[in-house]
Chains A and B, each alone.
Chain A
Amino acid sequence: MLSDIFLVPVMGKFLLHAPLHGVTALTNKAGANTFQTAIRNKETKAPPEFRVILNQLNREIISPTRHSGALTDPRFLGLIPTRGCNMLCSYCDFPVSPLDSRKVMSRELCRQAIDAYFALIIENKRPGASIHFFGGEPFFAPELVFFAVEYARYRARHYKLELHLEATSNGLLDEPLLTWVAENFHSIVLSLDGKEAVQEQQRPAIERKGAFARVMHCATILAESQCNLVLRSCITQDSLPNMMDAMLWMLERFRPSAVCMEPLTESERSRRSGLQPPDPWKFAHAFLAVEQALQTQEIECILSTADLSLCTVSSCPVGHDALIVSPDGEVDACYLIKDTWLRKGMDMHLGMVNNGNFEIESSALAQVRSYELGEKPLCGDCFCRYHCAGGCHVNHDGSQAPGSFDDLCIRTRMVSIGKLLIKTGQTQLLHSWLQNEEACKISALWKNDRIEAWK
């Protein structure tokens, strides 16, 4: 059985990374050899300076596995009040038909979904509940979100449940709704791509007048509130050169708890708008520059596929039994548009909300749970496997041979190596490594990171 211990070359040295054992260290070639021999031969006798780490690496570990059995612990209830939106983002990859964009979840369906979720939570003696709002733009249906939040909190108080409330939003919120959001949500992920010129180019509003000022006002109110503000920026080839400037500006103006920098996902609309994803190498360099700049400020820098805090077989809600209810009452595992996953030959459908219950077939649950790391040959020997888990199950093809790394893999591996070097205090090495194009390529394109394969 493979050990899930990895060695990644970094300029003649090696990052020893064993996420399941909680070990990350930098070693040289002789050290890598010693570790490999000790692991391969299950040696207990090793030079004293290696023993502390080897003891940790020899510990019994529990590997993350896919969920099995009955649905007892849904990660959260997702509500999609509407697929409609008051923005016309130049890269939007939610191809919603005009008819679907006008649909709003009925209050009765919303109530039933919340009742069904709480019943499941209580039946399985879970201490808390979590409700996430997705869109379109969820606050484009403000009355429904208001009802959902207030009703859920009313019920949660009755059942003595902790309730966490989170939403993603474009920030086109006006008073007094904005004040209510700031006072009632625990976390808002606000999309803000940069200063006015970038924001207006990439995220124009349908009613163009004053959109940037409204988003700024929203971010300001949220920043001044108890609500946890996460700013999410979509980075394109054109906006990449100004990423550092934009992030420092956001930091100074809003003091978010985290900034999330995600490269553009290509879509029909992004192509029509002439927007392109950033070069993965350049993106990784820029991301790590921001990470270092923000390090002293205790602001978390997030790239969703390089979140080292995860140890998982699925880095998104899929596979964690999240129940995401669409405006027409379908319960899915994924918040993307149904057509998007159907076109990729995937079935994220779990069931329906009906008569105050979730009607979910065990076969559908098993199908959704099967979309996980174990089914992705591409990730087989990659040191990022337990935090990236292959990224988006729908938009990233994990069926390729191990080590056939694509752009997503390159930026994930580069950013992950950089984060690990920062974590181990190797900022000087990080700097030298980033300056050396050849060394970066060796690290990022290394086909098999498993310690057993190292030569």
Chain B
Amino acid sequence: MSKTTRYLLNPQIAWVNEGEGRIRLILPGCAQNTWLEGVESLLWRSLWLGFDTEMWLAVLAEEGRTLRLMMDEWLKSGWIMVAD
């Protein structure tokens, strides 16, 4: 992931902001919903609003996670796309 890589939410994925900052993903063809909480939901909302995801680097580091791995994972799952 280069520093300039920008991501977009996949418009095919329906999702809902729920209470306490939680996000419910309604994945196509998937009977069960997926929930994003904590730093994952922060990242999701950053992408939704078009803000810099790197603002969460310190929080991610505290949780022992990296932005790169998370974005790669979400890309693989088809939840996000690389912006042109």
Interfacial residues, chain A to chain B (CB-CB below 8 A) = 107, 111, 142-143, 146-147, 150-151, 153-154, 157, 176-177, 180, 183-184
Contacts and interface: CB of A to CB of B under 8 A. Distances in A.
Given A146-B51, A151-B59, A157-B38, 10 more contacts: A142-B51, A143-B52, A143-B55, A146-B45, A146-B46, A147-B51, A147-B55, A176-B49, A180-B49, A183-B17
The secondary structure that dominates the A interface is: helix
The secondary structure that dominates the B interface is: helix
B35 to A, nearest CB: 14
Contact of B49 (A111, A153, A177): A177
Interface string B40-84: 001001101101100100110000000000000000000000000
Interface in B1-55: 17, 20-21, 38-39, 42, 45-46, 48-49, 51-52, 55
A183 B49 CA distance: 13
Contact of A154 (B42, B49, B52): B42
Contact of B21 (A107, A147, A154, A177): A154
Contact of B45 (A111, A142, A150, A157): A150
Contacts of B51: 142-143, 146-147
B21 A150 contact: yes
A98 B65 CA distance: 41
A446 to B, nearest CB: 52
A107 B20 CA distance: 22
Contacts of B42: 150-151, 154
A153 B38 CA distance: 9
Contacts of B49: 142, 146, 176-177, 180
21 contacts: A107-B55, A142-B49, A142-B51, A143-B55, A147-B51, A150-B42, A150-B46, A151-B42, A151-B59, A154-B21, A154-B38, A154-B39, A154-B42, A157-B20, A157-B21, A157-B38, A176-B49, A180-B17, A180-B45, A180-B48, A180-B49
A182 to B, nearest CB: 10
Contact of B48 (A151, A157, A176): A176
Nearest to B48: A176
A111 to B, nearest CB: 8
A177 B58 CA distance: 23
Contacts of A142: 49, 51
A147 B49 CA distance: 11
A115 B48 CA distance: 26
A154 B59 contact: yes
Contacts of A147: 51, 55
Contacts of B48: 176, 180
Nearest to A110: B55
Nearest to B20: A157
Contacts of A180: 17, 45, 48-49
A380 B39 CA distance: 53
Contacts of A177: 49
Contacts of A184: 21
Nearest to B38: A154
Contacts of B17: 180, 183
A157 B21 CA distance: 10
Contacts of A143: 51-52, 55
A143 B47 CA distance: 12
B50 to A, nearest CB: 8
A143 B48 CA distance: 12
Contacts of A150: 21, 42, 45-46
A40 B70 CA distance: 75
A444 to B, nearest CB: 48
Nearest to B43: A150
Contacts of B55: 107, 143, 147
A177 B38 CA distance: 20
Nearest to B55: A147
Nearest to A150: B42
A392 B75 CA distance: 54
Contacts of B20: 157
B46 to A, nearest CB: 7
Nearest to A155: B59
Contacts of A111: 58
A146 B49 CA distance: 9
Contacts of B39: 154
B11 to A, nearest CB: 13
